[in-house]
Amino acid sequence: MTQIKSIGILGGGQLGKMFLQKALDFNLDFFVLDPDPECSCKAICNNLTTGSFKDYNTVYNFGKQVDLITIEIEHVNIEALEQLEKEGKKVFPQPAVLRMIQDKGLQKEFYTAHNIPTPPYVLVNSKEEIYKHSSLFPVMQKMRKGGYDGKGVKPLKNEADIKDAFNEASVLESFADIAMEISVIVARNLSGEIKTFPVVEMVFNPEVNLVDNLLSPARISTETEKYAEEIAVKIAEKLGIVGVLAVEMFITKKGEILVNEMAPRPHNSGHHSIEANITSQYEQHLRAIMNWPLGDTSIVKPALMLNLLGHKDYSGKAIVTGLSEALKVSGVKPHWYGKEITKPFRKMGHITITGNSIEEVLEKAEKIRNTIKVIA
Amino acid sequence: MTQIKSIGILGGGQLGKMFLQKALDFNLDFFVLDPDPECSCKAICNNLTTGSFKDYNTVYNFGKQVDLITIEIEHVNIEALEQLEKEGKKVFPQPAVLRMIQDKGLQKEFYTAHNIPTPPYVLVNSKEEIYKHSSLFPVMQKMRKGGYDGKGVKPLKNEADIKDAFNEASVLESFADIAMEISVIVARNLSGEIKTFPVVEMVFNPEVNLVDNLLSPARISTETEKYAEEIAVKIAEKLGIVGVLAVEMFITKKGEILVNEMAPRPHNSGHHSIEANITSQYEQHLRAIMNWPLGDTSIVKPALMLNLLGHKDYSGKAIVTGLSEALKVSGVKPHWYGKEITKPFRKMGHITITGNSIEEVLEKAEKIRNTIKVIA
Return the pLDDT at B1: 46
Q: Which of residues 241-270 of A touch B (CB under 8 A)?
A: none
Sorted by sequence, the CB contacts under 8 Å of residue B44 that are 6+ apart come out as: A20, A24, A44, A46, B17, B20, B21, B24
Report pLDDT for A370: 83
Chain B 141-160, residues with CB within 8 Å of chain A CB atoms: none
CA distance A138 to A158: 6
Please tell me the predicted confidence (pLDDT) of residue A303.
Answer: 98
Instruction: List CB contacts of A222: < 8 A, sequence separation 6 or more.
Output: none
Confidence of residue B146 (pLDDT cuts 50, 70, 90): confident
Q: Which of A62, A103, A100 is nearest to A83 (CA)?
A: A62
Residues of chain B contacting A302 with CB distance shorter than 8 Å: none
Please compute the mean of the pLDDT values over residues A21-44 and round it to a whole number.
Answer: 96
Q: Name the residue facing A300 among B22, B42, B301 (closest C-beta).
A: B301
User: At residue A1, does pLDDT exceed 50?
Assistant: no
The CA–CA distances, whole Å, from A327 to A258, A367, B112, B297 equal 38, 11, 37, 13
B48-54 mean pLDDT: 98
Q: Is the pLDDT of residue B106 over 70?
A: yes
- Whole-model pTM: value is 0.96
A152-161, A256-265, A302-311, B200-209 — which is least confidently predicted? Answer: B200-209
Q: Tell whether B354 lies on the interface with A, counting CB pairs under 8 A.
A: yes
ipTM of the complex: 0.94
- Report d(CA B52, CA B213) in Å as an integer: 31
Torsion of CA A365, A369, A373, B3, to 10 degrees: -50
Provide mean pLDDT across the span A297-326.
Answer: 95
Q: Is B24 on the interface with A (CB under 8 A)?
A: yes
Q: What is the pLDDT of residues A216-234, one digit of tens each?
A: 999 999 999 999 999 999 9
What does the alpha-carbon distance between residue B114 and residue B259 come to, in Å, rounded to a whole number? Answer: 12
Q: What is the mean pLDDT of residues A200-206?
A: 89
Q: Which residues contact A193 (CB under 8 A, 6 or more apart)?
A: A293, A294
* A319 touching chain B per CB within 8 A: no
CB-CB contact of B75 with B144 (8 Å): no
What pLDDT, on a 0 to 100 scale, did the predictor assign at position B149? 66
Give me the mean pLDDT over the B41-64 stretch. Answer: 97
**pLDDT tens sequence across B282-292:** 999 999 999 99
Per-residue pLDDT at B88 exceeds 80? yes
pLDDT recorded at residue B204? 84
- Among A21, A44, A336, the residue with its CB nearest the CB of B26 is A336
**What does DSSP say about strands B90-91 and B29-34: parallel, antiparallel, or unpaired?**
unpaired
The per-residue pLDDT of chain B, averaged, comes to 95
| Chain B residues touching residue A334 (CB < 8 angstroms) | 25-26
Phi-psi region of A291 (alpha: psi -120 to 50; beta: other; left: phi over 0): left
Chain A residues whose beta carbon lies within 8 Å of the beta carbon of residue B25: 21, 333-336
Adjacent-strand bridge partners of B250? B181, B258
